Amino acid sequence: MRLRNIPGSREAIAESHWCIQEPEQYKGNWQQVFCSGNPIHIEIGMGKGQFLMTLAKQNPGINYIGIEKYSSVLLRALQKMEEEPLENIRFIRMEAETICDIFQENEIAKIYLNFSDPWPKDRHAKRRLTSRQFFARYNSILAKEGNVEFKTDNRELFDFSLEEVKEAGWKLDGITRDLHRDESMNAGNVMTEYEERFSSMGNSIYKLIASR
């Protein structure tokens, strides 16, 4: 899907208090941004921010960083933050491939991947956020006891992800092919904008939790 460019979105992002400019300078020192020693959770491909903002409200003792590469999408999240500020959340506009340049070893406590781009062509498999190449990146920044949570409505991507978890040498701590009917896996679930839309259409939501 082609995203509509919003004039002035990059300028607005550059001026926003909530969006970190030159994030590389905080590698290993992200607690300086939040002025606390609380654990840091990140969402890669955060969209308009509903999921992460809900978590930030529910968990003031956790710091959240949302990563989004599209300026027009990130702008919507920043507009929401202006309406209801949350000091335990920040955003970065960046490509996911460079996360190891932004975060230090063991710096992140949890990683969320929600309704990621499926990159359906086989030649683009390594670009999928649940590919073994990305799990190698997560291995570099995730704390020893940390984990990755992934949700999607795309069955092919989910099946691919299950295999990639194993190929990456990780283990599956939880798996469901119908999240909203799975009482244990759905406990405390926070829905994204896409999740609300897809589930209202009758689509099954798949979820896995992986750790090392």
Catalytic residue set: 117
CA dist 98 and 157 (Å) reads 22
Query: DSSP letter at 53?
Result: H
Cβ(193)–Cβ(50) under 8 Å?
yes
Cβ(102)–Cβ(92) under 8 Å?
yes
Range 115-122, long-range pairs (CB < 8 A, 24+ positions): 115/45, 115/47, 115/151, 115/152, 115/153, 115/192, 115/194, 115/195, 115/198, 116/44, 116/45, 116/150, 116/152, 116/157, 117/45, 118/152, 118/154, 118/156, 118/157, 120/156
